[in-house]
Structure 1
Amino acid sequence: MSDEFTDFHLEAGHAANGPYALDVDPQRAGWGYSSLRILDLPPGGHHSFATGDSEWIVLPLSGGCTVVAGTGTGTDTDGTFELTGRESVFSGVTDFAYVPRDTQVRIASGAGGRFALTGARCERRLPARYGPASAVPVELRGTGNCSRQVNNFGAAGTFACDRLIAVEVLTPGGNWSSYPPHKHDECRPGQESELEEIYYYEIAAAHGKEGVGYQRVTPSGHGRGTDVLAEVRSGDAVLIPDGWHGPSIATPGHAMYYLNVMAGPGETREWLICDHPDHGWIRDTWPDQPVDPRLPLYEAPAGDAR
């Protein structure tokens, strides 16, 4: 039986693999580049892995950890990084660590926590590096009920990777994000870049109740004809090999978080999108509306001396 996923909506726990609560790699996704692993560590826990043919960013979702990359022989692809992390994805921007391909990595956490490993198959072996929380650009995108916050920790142009692009999006309850629907499934120089994408969700609880959100993907006429209408909960993921994706809808009273992981075959690492022709007009209304006053949910902290 093939290990490849047969559905684009991966419910929490249904894509677990070994130590990972979620494990999406190119083979299982049936594509070429993008990967995501979610690792839960108990207090005092640790985990080692080989990066193989991919570059990775270790991103704390909750808790902090120590990341050791390489053999410790002093090359620029070695490094030890202490990540302060955060209480949750809804509490603050986090620091992170970049580890290159063809490297041995060890992650250890004294207090325990949940960690995202965002990856992309790549060619170049870049230096291992620490990414301070204070250097993460926090962007407010859209206005009115399309307002959302984007933490551009691994965006093209803000942090150097070979192919990997990764950002966090926070949407207040009742708002729509990933809107207008857009796509990036064709290589059209200067207009659109071809990128496979993974969405990983966490939904804020309220009044002791777990929340839900909704994700839509519609066929664009390219690739697999991806068509998804999913009710998503914390720990779920949606694979987007192609298609118009959006909206991502946060239900009233429950803020939505999602982690976007992207990579593709283009020679230039860039995020170029095409809006859906029936919905792109919404952007013209944004200058006449205020940004949702609930945003930002938080801002990047003051500078880190490291």
Structure 2
Amino acid sequence: MSNDLYVPRGATADAGAGHLLDIDPKRAGWTYSSLRIVALEPGGTHTLTTGDSEWIVLPLEGGCTVRTAGEEFQLLGRESVFASVTDFAYVPRDARAQIASGAGGRFALAGAKCERQLPARYGPAPEVPVEERGSGNCARLVRNFASADAFDCDKLIAVEVITPGGNWSSYPPHKHDEHRPGEEAELEEIYYFEIDGPHGFGYQRVSPSREGGSDVLAEVRSGDAVLVPDGWHGPSIAQPGHAMYYLNVMAGPGGTREWRICFHPDHVETTGGYR
């Protein structure tokens, strides 16, 4: 198996830019999806130049102020990704944004190369659809803050998943690496992980959907990421006693922003629900 798609914590860090993680299309070897994790000290600021991508500023730990395109958004944020949903801010392409945090914190910048310049907007936490999916040891919590049917973007799709300790999610294995109208949408995907509690870990599997396709089995810890350019992805497995969080960032070439997937034929009878 190739480890090229597994990005361990610190592998793309840039202390000068304040990035704990920096995955752009060039680093990933694809066209659309990006993810940065930014750490701010108390009173710190970060400038985001959006270029040809749209971005969502998502607090992971702490709150911040986002100023962009003549707008100012106060993000209350949260104590941790395991504590609650959070509010967020959408920043359009061809813009600059300043992110400032009085108390400091960590913030995910989820991006996607896009065509339309949409208005800057605030996403309130109470409006984030939260879904309980699956049952038994496949139960998990999905926060659809920027799913295709919950928040308007041009290309970007992003959700958060909390998997209880000992459970499986992103299951049954599924793929979205072909354009098949009405059945499957082509999407590049990033998984970013955090694990609740010290010494916790999880596992992420990506298996080939075609000859020579992506093949990853990674032990993941807080701050790690896995890239999914193609292939069957799942399961995501949380260590017993340690809940696992992951942020999914997706985008692709389709003319319609939609999340359509194909399940692995060997697992379509699996109970417990998807993702």
Shorter-normalised TM-score: what interval? over 0.9
Instruction: State the TM-score, normalizing by the size of structure 2.
Output: 0.96
Out of 15-24 and 257-266, give the one that drifted further: 15-24
SS in 1 for 2:269: helix
Are 2:262 and 1:274 equivalent residues in the alignment?
yes
Distance in 2 separating the partners of 1:141 and 1:7: 31
User: Which residue does the alignment assign to 2:10?
Assistant: 13
Q: Is structure 2 residue 213 aligned with structure 1 residue 225? A: yes
State how 1:197-236 maps to structure 2 within 5 Å.
Answer: 197-205=189-197, 209-221=198-210, 225-236=213-224
3-state secondary structure, aligned to 1:28? helix
Matched, 1:248 2:236: yes
**Match runs of 1:33-182 below 5 Å:** 33-70=32-69, 72=70, 79-182=71-174
Task: Report the CA distance between 1:6 and its aligned residue.
Answer: 7.4
* Structure with the larger strand share: 2
- Alignment partners' CA distance in 1, 2:199 and 2:9: 14
Structure 1's unaligned 5+ residue stretches are 73-78, 287-306
In the alignment, the residues of structure 2 paired with residue 19 and residue 196 of structure 1 have an alpha-carbon distance, to the nearest angstrom, of: 25
| Matching of residue 184 in structure 1 with residue 176 in structure 2 | yes
Q: For 2:158 and 2:48, how far apart are their aligned partners in 1?
A: 20
Q: Equivalents in 1 of 2:251, 2:163: separation in Å?
A: 23
Partners in 1 of 2:237 and 2:3 — Cα distance? 24
SS in 2 for 1:191: coil
Alpha-carbon separation, structure 1, partners of 2:236 and 2:12: 21
Q: Partner of 2:257: helix, strand, or coil?
A: coil
Measured in 2, the distance between the counterparts of 1:148 and 1:181 equals 15
Q: Secondary structure at the match of 1:282?
A: coil
RMSD: 1.3
Q: How many residues matched?
A: 270
C-alpha change, 1:256 and 1:6, in structure 2 (3 Å) is closer
Q: Which residue number corresponds to residue 24 of structure 1?
A: 23
Q: Deviations over 1:150-202 (max 9, x none)?
A: 00000001000000000000000000000000000000000000000000000
Q: 1:88 to 1:8 in 2, by over 3 A?
A: same
Shift in Å at residue 28 of structure 1?
A: 0.9
Measured in 1, the distance between the counterparts of 2:268 and 2:33 equals 27
The aligned amino acid for 2:94 is D
Q: Which runs of 4+ in 1 moved over 4 A?
A: none
Structure 1 letter corresponding to 2:266: D
What stretches of structure 2 of length at least 5 have no aligned partner?
none
Aligned residue for 2:27, secondary structure, equals helix
Task: Give the partner amino acid of 1:152.
Answer: N
Superposed CA deviations along residues 113-142 of structure 1, whole A, max 9, x for unmatched, are 000000000000000000000000000111
- Give the alignment partner of residue 227 of structure 2, picking from 239, 242, 251: 239
